[in-house]
A and B are shown apart, each in its own frame.
Chain A
């Protein structure tokens, strides 16, 4: 359990920091971005549920009762299953498994992608050829079927095993992006300068190159977490990982296998799906925040300005702002005159 908790402590303090001291330190400017802040707050909420979920759950998620397939009520907020189990409790308890697998797989995959991507980009030559061929192979082979085969061959695969399998099969994208960026960094002047002053390769990589890769590493970590959560829920949904451990996929597995659709029990699968979508959106928002932080061009709200006479103009990168109507009407008239003269 050490993996998710450590991430919680690094992530959550930044959430509230938006209101507390905006843009005080340069590093915190990232969270001043609306998208990133929203994403971090939602992620923080899910992390919180992952920690306290099992304690605040009103019922034992596996306990049966006589309320079979009940719609949501004040007693059972999200309704009940075919065995009278409380779906709200299942969601709360299941959050921990989802977050644990997502974050652990993300950590494993990111560590592998840094190791392979950075060393492949920095070393060059035969090592680069070999390592980038390896990551391209892993990129092209469809990951999900591979994960399904490996996970179903391992007897009794629990959360830890699933996280490791996902982590070891989904590092390739990050490695590719990191390699490309390292390639462009390794011949920069400041790296050459460090090399000329006789710094060791290890120090150049950790002190000169890695800090400039932070944003890419962060965004590939977030991307991998999204993928890992999706894969894990998929595995549970098709019934590969152990169904004794609750997670959102397990709920969907039971909903599907007990014909929740045919019985009109929408409450059985809607909460889990929405939770996945909201968590996924939050992570994507963090990624957009990182992208926009690194490349300001992508910020969507084009700045709106007004001219002296109050006409709105939209500033866009790469475009010369064109003032509306009056001038546009004038241009063709001028041209016609010229054509007539010629």
Chain B
């Protein structure tokens, strides 16, 4: 329990740090791009919306930094992230609300699948060292060096086309209305196949490699030799003795590298015009929509923190040592 509380405290601290970074970025960097955006839409924005943008981007120069900071927090807690200029006049919070489920479904599921597949292959590659599985390593190294988005471009060229089952862009058939019926879900799954495969191929190799190295290290521990000497079946030694212990560092590594992975997968959404957060970020960058950019950053950071917390709970379940004190 103590472990979990410590982690929760740390994530709260990180969330605070991320929000504070978000507060300071527009204030520290010279030039205020938001003013020109507001001027461009003069007359179309309500006074309230202008006020909220002023608070978010530090345009209310008269107020002290501290009162700006307090106002900023109050506004973020109310879920007011300003107006999006790309989807004018939709508030940023609404835009993100719409795209977050897409990203969670695509990135979340494929990341979990890639971790499971990679760890499984890594266990085998580490255990059967010197066999043909070692031949996988250079291939996976090469695949992991390819940027996700480029693999996506390649996949579109090779696999998608007018007469292919893989659509090249979008999250669902243009004619359909998002709802929970069969036609829509089927179309959504069909559209997510190619991006999912792309993410899977380029992210799986990292897990194979780290799990393999961990297995190799664990395989030379005394308790493995003892397990062999007891005459336990090879499979049991591999899974219950070696893999179980080798998995722990991999799970904590999983939590730590989530930030990196999510960053990469956002780009896959861009290539496939997938209606998720990453594509929002791309649209925001294209039209210099700073409120949306900052909103995307906050939402991604908070999601990664939540995912980290879940990974920590998994670690807690896997490693009895952490449960001992509580």
- Is B a genuine binding partner of A? yes
Given contacts A234-B147, A284-B141, A302-B129, contact A318 B221 (CB under 8 A): yes
Listed stretches A9-17, A75-83, A133-141; interface member: A133-141
Are B263 and A153 touching (Cβ within 8 A)?
no
Are A133 and B10 touching (Cβ within 8 A)?
yes
Q: Does A114 contact B (CB under 8 A)?
A: no
Q: 1/0 contact trace for B223-260 toward A, CB 8 Å?
A: 01100100000000000000000000000000010111
Q: 1/0 contact trace for A254-291 toward B, CB 8 Å?
A: 01100001001010011011001111110111001001
The binding surface of chain B is classed by DSSP as helix
Q: Does B14 contact A (CB under 8 A)?
A: yes
For A141, give its contact among B21, B130, B221, B294 (CB under 8 Å).
B21
Q: Which residues A133-152 have CB closer than 8 A to chain B?
A: 133, 136-137, 139-146, 148-150, 152
Listed stretches B73-81, B82-90, B152-160, B313-321; interface member: B152-160
Given contacts A269-B150, A318-B219, contact A146 B297 (CB under 8 A): yes
- State in angstroms the CA–CA spacing of A16 and B150 once bound together: 33
For B288, give its contact among A141, A152, A279 (CB under 8 Å).
A152
Interface residues on A, range: 35 or more
CB neighbours (8 Å) of A276 from chain B are 145-147, 150
For A133, give its contact among B13, B142, B151, B217 (CB under 8 Å).
B13
Are B304 and A281 touching (Cβ within 8 A)?
no
Interface residues on B, range: 35 or more
CB neighbours (8 Å) of A273 from chain B are 146-147, 150-151, 153-154
Are B263 and A144 touching (Cβ within 8 A)?
yes
Q: Does B270 contact A (CB under 8 A)?
A: yes
CB neighbours (8 Å) of A255 from chain B are 153
A331: nearest chain-B partner, CB-CB: B231
B133: nearest chain-A partner, CB-CB: A300
Are A142 and B259 touching (Cβ within 8 A)?
yes
Q: Does A334 contact B (CB under 8 A)?
A: no
Q: Does A197 contact B (CB under 8 A)?
A: no
Given contacts A233-B147, A261-B157, contact A142 B285 (CB under 8 A): no
A152: nearest chain-B partner, CB-CB: B285
- State in angstroms the CA–CA spacing of A137 and B290 once bound together: 23
Q: Which residues A74-128 have CB closer than 8 A to chain B?
A: none
For A280, give its contact among B146, B219, B224, B263 (CB under 8 Å).
B146
Q: Does A72 contact B (CB under 8 A)?
A: no
**Nearest CB in chain A: distance from B18 CB, A:** 5
Q: Does A202 contact B (CB under 8 A)?
A: no
CB neighbours (8 Å) of A154 from chain B are 29
Q: Does B55 contact A (CB under 8 A)?
A: no
For A142, give its contact among B30, B33, B147, B263 (CB under 8 Å).
B263
- State in angstroms the CA–CA spacing of A28 and B301 once bound together: 43
Q: Does A238 contact B (CB under 8 A)?
A: yes
- State in angstroms the CA–CA spacing of A242 and B297 once bound together: 22
- State in angstroms the CA–CA spacing of A154 and B258 once bound together: 27
Are A238 and B145 touching (Cβ within 8 A)?
no
**Nearest CB in chain A: distance from B132 CB, A:** 12
Are A149 and B141 touching (Cβ within 8 A)?
no
CB neighbours (8 Å) of B156 from chain A are 261
Q: Does A246 contact B (CB under 8 A)?
A: no
For B294, give its contact among A137, A149, A239 (CB under 8 Å).
A149
Q: Does B308 contact A (CB under 8 A)?
A: yes
Are A281 and B259 touching (Cβ within 8 A)?
no
For B157, give its contact among A237, A252, A266, A278 (CB under 8 Å).
A266
Are B14 and A136 touching (Cβ within 8 A)?
yes
Are B130 and A234 touching (Cβ within 8 A)?
no
For B142, give its contact among A148, A173, A277 (CB under 8 Å).
A277
- State in angstroms the CA–CA spacing of A316 and B147 once bound together: 35
A residues near B, CB below 8 A?
133, 136-137, 139-146, 148-150, 152-155, 173, 226-227, 230, 233-234, 237-240, 252, 255-256, 261, 264, 266, 269-270, 272-273, 276-281, 283-285, 288, 291, 295, 297-298, 300-302, 304, 314, 316-320
Knowing that A154-B29, A288-B141 touch, tell me 19 more A-B residue pairs with CB under 8 angstroms. Answer: A139-B259, A140-B305, A141-B21, A141-B301, A153-B29, A153-B31, A155-B31, A173-B256, A230-B264, A256-B271, A261-B156, A264-B157, A270-B154, A273-B154, A277-B142, A281-B145, A284-B144, A297-B217, A300-B134
